Copies of this chain bind each other. A is one copy, B any other.
Amino acid sequence: MSAVQGKETRAEGVYRALRARLLRGELAPGARLRPGELAAEYAVSLSVVREAVTRLAGQGLVDASPQRGFAVPALSVAELRDLTRARVLVETAAFGESIARGDVAWESRVLAAHHTLARTPPLTAEGHLSEAFEEAHQTFHLALLDGSGSRHLTAAALSLRDRADLYRHWSMRLAPDPSRDIAAEHRDLADLAVARAADPAKALLAAHIERTAEALAAHVCAVT
């Protein structure tokens, strides 16, 4: 898109920064987001923090309760299951639409995104999640969904995906499942998409989503 907007508003900046931290799992679930602290941290006034946080709350990435402030959403197995169910339905629908209606440019985006993903190592030398991999992964999954030509459908899917990201990072941090060949799953997703094999593609995407959720749920249950 055109980056015509040379300047970014401060509220916008804080919004994006906070959002990134949230999705990256840097903020502990349940932790309070004190406007005072954040204002000091980002060197802005309360108003801009409040605007940023309100926006995040509107998208469900932050919990807000009147007179009681804001907090990072607490994670729960029940919500994870709920969310997973919603994601499977909405993402497979979007994926199906993309397969049915996506054009050649969409196929190209899928292949390009997959290539980048496949060539990006998931872990850094120190064993942490790689920033680059995160982005490539995000981009790949977005590519799978955005061929439908419906902005609203894509947005709905992405919104759920963002919320799920609050979990996914903890999942990968806590329960890296060695028995899963995630790279193969991604490869197959790309292949089936380009082959326009709607039903197998949707089934695989559903399984892909559910597996990650199950891994985390199992882990949390074991810990708790």
Question: Besides A55-B55, A57-B58, 9 other CB < 8 A contacts?
Answer: A7-B66, A82-B151, A82-B152, A82-B153, A83-B152, A85-B148, A85-B152, A89-B93, A93-B93
| Interface residues of A, dominant DSSP | helix
Instruction: Count chain A residues whose beta carbon lies closer than 8 angstroms to a beta carbon of B.
Output: 39
Interface residues of A (CB under 8 A from B): 5, 7-9, 12, 47, 50-51, 54-60, 66-67, 79, 82-83, 85-87, 89-90, 93-94, 97, 148-153, 155-156, 159-160, 163
In the assembled complex, the Cα of A160 lies from the Cα of B57 at a distance in Å of 18
Q: Which of B5, B82, B97 contacts A149 (CB 8 A)?
A: B82
Q: How far is the CB of A85 from chain B (nearest CB, A)?
A: 5
Q: Which residues of the other chain, B, contact A5 by a CB distance below 8 angstroms?
A: 66
Q: Which residues of the other chain, B, contact A56 by a CB distance below 8 angstroms?
A: 58
Q: How far is the CB of A168 from chain B (nearest CB, A)?
A: 15
Q: Which residues of the other chain, B, contact A87 by a CB distance below 8 angstroms?
A: 152
Q: Which of B59, B85, B97, B149 contacts A150 (CB 8 A)?
A: B85
Q: Which residues of the other chain, B, contact A83 by a CB distance below 8 angstroms?
A: 150, 152
Name A9's closest neighbour in chain B (CB-CB).
B66
Given A5-B66, A12-B66, A66-B8, does the pair A156, B156 have CB atoms closer than 8 Å? yes
* Pair A85/B153 contact, Cβ less than 8 Å: yes
Q: Which residues of the other chain, B, contact A82 by a CB distance below 8 angstroms?
A: 149-153
Q: Which residues of the other chain, B, contact A12 by a CB distance below 8 angstroms?
A: 66
Q: Which residues of the other chain, B, contact A86 by a CB distance below 8 angstroms?
A: 150, 152-153, 156
Q: How far is the CB of A30 from chain B (nearest CB, A)?
A: 18
